[in-house]
């Protein structure tokens, strides 16, 4: 048993010595490789090439998939950022527009300090009645009453038709179904002076040319009634205008304050053109409104302040002042 054990040990030692000799021989710089080395290198290169190409293709495919996924994720993040930017831009424009509308409404409210002005927002507007009515979020609890004038920062748009506790329905001037209650009495303010006949002196002679400037009178307001709307030209129609009145394009139109609860001097629009009225006895004016009826978001409800007349009656402030002045003049 010891002999066989010693023989195994001797074989191992001899193998180590041979290995060291071969390693030392092959480690030296040589001009040519031995044929075993050549065989091993060729065999190894063939086997490595056989496995390397598929592995490289698989690795490239996985790398491409990862790149495509990264591109997809980056694209998704960029689209989300772009959508967020578009949303923020839209919100910013909306806030700017709302700010401008509030500033204009505030400025308009300050201009009408003689009236009780109630600020309100449009709560609803039905597309089937777009040109007829809209609903605001102020009602009787906020002081809104039936037939009160309603306007934007630009001009008059209609009157209050129905009132509930916290909302009200506004009938627009553009309504084709409006009743006589929605007819508005207005004044056209002519811009051209009126020529009056030359005055004569006491001896029956005409005054000289130096006094001819006195014959130019200041134009007086021309009264009429807003009764209809031209949906094609988007113009308000004012009828019952005296035929002998001189009206020119771009003449301003305001409310007269005669009758009803609509105050005076509220802007309506400008005259675009005139034409003969019914039977040629009157003339009709077509008016471009100041207010934009296609986009209404904020409105002002105008309430006439009431005053006590000397007779003890409560009338709108404009009428009360007129009656008081007449009473003083009669004394």
pLDDT band at 75 (very low <50, low <70, confident <90, very high): confident
- Judge whether residue 209 has pLDDT over 60: no
pLDDT band at 170 (very low <50, low <70, confident <90, very high): very high
CA triple 317-108-92, angle to 5 deg: 155
The answer to whether residue 96 sits within a structural domain is yes
Bridge-based pairing state of the strands 235-242 and 194-195: unpaired
**Domain co-membership, 100 together with 154:** no
**Domain co-membership, 171 together with 128:** yes
pLDDT tens figures, 94-108: 777 667 766 666 666
The residue among 238, 315, 319, 243 whose CA lies nearest residue 284 is 238
Q: Which helix (H) or strand (E) holds 283?
A: strand 282-289
**Chosen domain end from 95, 113, 131:** 113
**Domain co-membership, 155 together with 98:** no
**Domain co-membership, 105 together with 156:** no
The answer to whether residue 280 sits within a structural domain is yes
**Domain co-membership, 292 together with 241:** yes
Token pair recorded at residue 200: 């004569």
Token pair recorded at residue 318: 């404009």
**Domain co-membership, 97 together with 159:** no
**Cβ atoms within 10 Å of 144's Cβ, excluding its own:** 23
The answer to whether residue 204 sits within a structural domain is no
Number of domains in the chain: 2
CATH number of the domain to which 243 belongs: 2.40.10.340
The residue range of the domain holding 109 is: 84-113
**Domain co-membership, 185 together with 304:** yes
The answer to whether residue 38 sits within a structural domain is no
**Does residue 41 or residue 65 have the better pLDDT?**
65
Alpha-carbon Rg for the chain, nearest whole angstrom, is 47
């Amino acid at each position: 048993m010891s002999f066989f054990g010693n023989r195994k040990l001797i074989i191992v030692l001899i193998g180590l010595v041979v290995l060291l000799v071969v390693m030392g021989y092959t480690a030296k710089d040589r001009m040519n490789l031995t044929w075993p080395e050549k065989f091993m290198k060729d065999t190894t290169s063939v086997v490595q090439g056989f496995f390397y190409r598929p592995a490289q293709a698989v690795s490239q495919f996985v790398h491409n998939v990862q790149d495509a996924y990264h591109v997809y994720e980056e694209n998704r993040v960029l689209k989300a950022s772009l959508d967020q930017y578009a949303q923020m831009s839209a919100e910013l424009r909306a806030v700017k527009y709302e700010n401008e509308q509030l500033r204009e409404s505030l400025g308009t409210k300050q201009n009408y300090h003689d009236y009780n002005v109630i600020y309100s927002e449009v709560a609803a507007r039905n597309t089937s009645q777009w040109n007829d009515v809209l609903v605001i979020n102020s009602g009787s609890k906020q002081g809104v009453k039936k037939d009160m004038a309603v306007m934007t920062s630009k001009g008059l748009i209609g009157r209050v038709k129905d009132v509930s506790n916290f909302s009200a329905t506004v009938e627009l001037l553009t309504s084709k179904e409006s009743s006589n209650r929605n007819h508005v009495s207005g004044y056209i303010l002519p811009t051209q002076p009126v020529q009056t006949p030359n005055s004569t002196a006491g001896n029956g002679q005409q005054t000289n040319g130096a006094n001819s400037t006195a014959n130019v009178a200041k134009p007086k307001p021309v009264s009429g009634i807003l009764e209809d709307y031209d949906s094609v030209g988007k113009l308000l129609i004012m009828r019952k205008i005296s035929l002998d009145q001189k009206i020119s394009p771009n003449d301003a139109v305001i409310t007269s304050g005669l009758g009803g609860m609509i105050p005076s001097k509220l802007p309506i629009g400008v005259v675009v053109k005139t034409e003969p009225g019914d039977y040629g006895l009157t003339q009709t004016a077509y008016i471009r409104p100041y207010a934009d009826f296609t986009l209404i978001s904020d409105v002002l409800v105008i309430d006439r302040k009431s005053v006590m007349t000397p007779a003890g009656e409560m009338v709108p402030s404009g009428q009360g002042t007129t009656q008081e002045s007449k009473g003083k003049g009669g004394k």
